[in-house]
Structures are given as structure tokens and as C-alpha cells.
Structure 1
Amino acid sequence: MRTILITGANKGIGLETARQLAQLGNFVYVGSRDIRNGEKAVAELKATGITQVAAIQIDVTDIADIRRAQEELSSQIDALDVLINNAGIAGEQPQELSVDSMENVRRLFETNFFGAVQTTQLLLPLLRKSVASAIINVSSEVGSLTMNMAVDRRPNWRNYSAYGASKTALNAFTVMLANELREQNIAVNSVTPGYTATDLNQFKGFKHVSEGARPIVALAMAADSSITGRFFQDGGELPW
């Protein structure tokens, strides 16, 4: 059994990831900005017979809240095996970077990038206590610089330019941190769920949340520190 924390897990892909990982015998902390939403999500899971779950409040944009969550976890567990940085926002669209408001860009980076960085930093002491731990950053294919350079992609992804830039930054964090922690038996990877129907995209995605969660779950279950500094999708890898 692995002990796992998922941020932004009270709904969508985060909740489905929690469901699948708990069904595989892991203990999952369902992180949410509002503890009431987390408790509601946990109640939904328990109503279906999934018992190895607990709610924890963690607002990734609030450093004091992350510290409080870290203290709560430290009082309950000896080590954290997997941190899944899933919390994220899509921002307002359209968001072409030539005209998008700086307020929108900053909000996106505050949650999608800085939130993941400071959450990871504060939870690293617990991750270091695990025999083989993993940090999984939930990214997006719109954060792939290589894919953004493809002519057929540019018109379709333009409305998500600022969001994509925040995910590109997250991918850079993945690579840099993977190199830093390579000798400490901590794997760090990015993963995209693909275009999944959630409230992030007004449920326009063509994949079901059960499909979107699948590559995240696979990475969380890998327990192989040699798999690090890579960018995964369902069924394979993506270019940076």
C-alpha cells in the first residue's frame, strides 16, 4: 500500500484518480482548497465502498495553508510515497499572449506553476522518508513546445496560450527537479490526461475522466525511480 496525496482532488480527474488509486489498495488523501468539498468527495467515495481515503485542506496558492497541511500529514503518517500536483485552473479564454490580461496570466501561473513548486518544496521532507517516492505533475499537451510548433496545432490551441505557457513552466520544473533528485530515489515526471471532459473545459473534452486518470494512476503505481524526468501520455511519451 502506498500513501498518496492528490491536490485538487475533490472533482474531475483528481477525484477519479483518487478513486482508481484507492481501489488498487492505496491510501489516498483527497486534497481540496475547501475542506467541505473534500469531505463531500470522500463521502461519495465511501458510499461506493472505497474506505482508504481521507480529506485534507490544501490551497496550493496559500503557503500558510500548505504548511498547515504538511503539519497535519506529518502527525498522521511516517512518509508520503506519492505527491500528485493536480490542482490547476484553465483561466479566462481567449488568452492569446499578445493581448491577454496580466491578471489572467498571473492567476494561471500562481496555481499551475508556483502552486506546484511550493507544495512540492514543503512536502519533500515527507517524500524523502519513503523508500521510493514519486512526484507527478499533471501537465497538458498544450504545454509541449514541440507540439505547439506544429502548424496544424497552432490555430486550435491559441485560446489556451497562457494556460499552455504555465504548463510549459511546470514541465521545466519537472526536468530540473528530476535532475536534482535523481540520486535521492525520488522520481519526478509530467503527465497529461489528454483532452478530458471536466469543468476545466466546460466538459467539451472527448475523453472520460476514467481514461484521463489512467496515465496518472500508471505513474503512481510504477514505484520505479529510474523512470524520471519524462513527459507521459496514455500509451506512451510526449516530446517536451
Structure 2
Amino acid sequence: MTTALITGANKGLGFETARRLIKDGHTVYVGARDIRRGSDAATELGARFVQLDVTDEDSVKAAAEHVRTESGRLDILVNNAGIAGAAKLGRVGEVTGADMQTTFDTNVFGPVRVTRTFLPLLEASENPVVVNVSSGLGSIAATTDPDRFEFQVTVLDYNASKTALVMVTSQYAKAYPAIRFNAVDPGYTATDLNGHRGTQTVEEGAEIIVRMASIGPDGPTGGFFDRNGPATW
């Protein structure tokens, strides 16, 4: 039986990814900061719940010990938890260092904390996979192309954090060739993160996350993918 952990899985893309993986026969841990919301989501999904705040080292370590005790290993890790950041759209000059630090703490340092702590459990799997949920807004190519939607969105902290996450993915992939590490762009999906202004449903957005979480040992690693395949970045 394959075991998966999804951070920020109590709603949105994380919730839908959990639902799809459970449907495909995986045992899924719903990771969430809020105990009530996380527990409620896990109950609704038929998943397991683990309290997990990606910005808190002790919380991450406790979550890893919980999964180790119950399951002994981890086959799939989806680093999905993220925040919109300061959301100072178009006001780059107003973004402070503290704004950047807060956004990076969840969107970049969070996946690093979780990945580092869960590495021993991933290495215990026969086919370990890590999926980091990035964004097209983290693609330098997309955000500098006037023909792309991403060109219209100027948000210093969020966009930069998602670019950094792709590089983090690439470095892990080189350092751990036995683990499939990939970043994904779900597309402009209607979630709380964007006030549900996205043009895709969560079902559409989660498709690439689930697809990359389900790859075999011969699957790609160190890449950045959207629903159409390799994404430019």
C-alpha cells in the first residue's frame, strides 16, 4: 500500500489531490496547521490526519515521527502548502524584506523543512516521489512573455518564492537520484489563494499534481511541468 503526505491538504488543490490519490488506492495523510479543519477534511476524505505547520520545525519533526510510527515509510510527498504573501499587486517598491521573509518561510523554506525531515522515510520507499507545487508565476520565461497571462501579474514576493521553489526542486533531484523530485504549475486555479478568481477548477488544477505524484521509478526528475508537459521557466 502506497502512503502519501500532502501539506496544506484541508482545502483547495491539496484537498482535491488527496481525494484523487485516495480514489486511486493510496493511503493519504492530510497535513494541516489547523487541527479542527485538518481533522474535518481527513474525515470527509477518508484520509489520515497529521498536524503540520511547515513554518515550525518542531511541528514538522512531530509529523514525521507520527508517520514513521504508523506507516514506517513515505512513498509520496506533495509540498502543497503556500501563501499568497503580501499581495501588493504591481507595487514592487512597497514590498519589504520582512514581507519577503514571511512568504519565503512558507513557500520555500517550508518545503525544505518538510523534505529534509521526511527524507529518511522517503528513502525507505521503493519508489519515492516528491512533488513541489510551484506556479507559472515562478517562470521567468512566462512572466516576461507579453503573450502570457503571467506577464500581467507583478507580485514580488510570491512570484520570486515560486521561482526559488523550482530551483530547490532541481537541486534535490541532483542530490537524491533515487527519489523523483519535480515541480508543477497547476495553472490559474480558483482557490482561496486568489479569491477564487482563477479560471480553472480545482479538479483541473490538481490533475498535474496527481499525475506527477503517480510516476514510476523510470519517470522524470528535476523538471517543471504543467498540464501540457514540461513547462518553460
Scaled to the shorter chain, the TM-score interval is: over 0.9
1:156 aligns with 152
Matched, 1:139 2:134: yes
Question: Quick one: which amino acid aligns to residue 18 of structure 2?
Answer: A
Matched, 1:187 2:180: yes
Whether contact under 8 Å (1:133, 1:225) holds in the other structure is no
Matched, 1:89 2:77: no
Residues of 2 paired with 1:188 and 1:231: CA distance? Answer: 10
Whether contact under 8 Å (1:134, 1:225) holds in the other structure is no
Matched, 1:33 2:15: no
Question: Quick one: which amino acid aligns to residue 3 of structure 1?
Answer: T
Structure 2 residue runs without a partner (length 5+): none
2:14 aligns with 14
Deviation at residue 236 of structure 1 after TM alignment: 1.1
2:58 aligns with 64
Deviation at residue 132 of structure 1 after TM alignment: 1.1
Question: Quick one: which amino acid aligns to residue 84 of structure 2?
Answer: A
TM-score by length of 1: 0.92
Deviation at residue 149 of structure 1 after TM alignment: 2.0
Identity %: 44
RMSD: 1.3
Whether contact under 8 Å (1:113, 1:167) holds in the other structure is yes
Residues of 1 paired with 2:152 and 2:131: CA distance? Answer: 27
SS at match of 1:222: coil
Number of residue pairs matched by the alignment: 231
Deviation at residue 151 of structure 1 after TM alignment: 3.1
Deviations along 1:72-116, one digit per CA (max 9) or x if unpaired, are 111111210010000000013225433212222111100000001
1:196 aligns with 189
SS at match of 2:108: helix
Of 202, 206, 212, the match for 1:213? 206
Whether contact under 8 Å (2:6, 2:79) holds in the other structure is yes
Deviation at residue 155 of structure 1 after TM alignment: 5.3
SS at match of 2:25: coil
Matched, 1:126 2:121: yes
2:227 aligns with 234
Residues of 2 paired with 1:104 and 1:224: CA distance? Answer: 39
Deviation at residue 225 of structure 1 after TM alignment: 4.7
Whether contact under 8 Å (1:186, 1:225) holds in the other structure is no
1:104 aligns with 99
Residues of 1 paired with 2:79 and 2:87: CA distance? Answer: 23
TM-score by length of 2: 0.95
1:48 aligns with none
Cα–Cα, structure 1 residues 210 and 224, in superposed 2: closer, same or farther, change >3 Å? same
Whether contact under 8 Å (2:95, 2:156) holds in the other structure is no
Whether contact under 8 Å (2:88, 2:94) holds in the other structure is no
Of 70, 80, 100, the match for 2:74? 80
Matched, 1:167 2:154: no
SS at match of 1:188: strand
Whether contact under 8 Å (1:89, 1:200) holds in the other structure is yes
Question: Quick one: which amino acid aligns to residue 127 of structure 2?
Answer: A
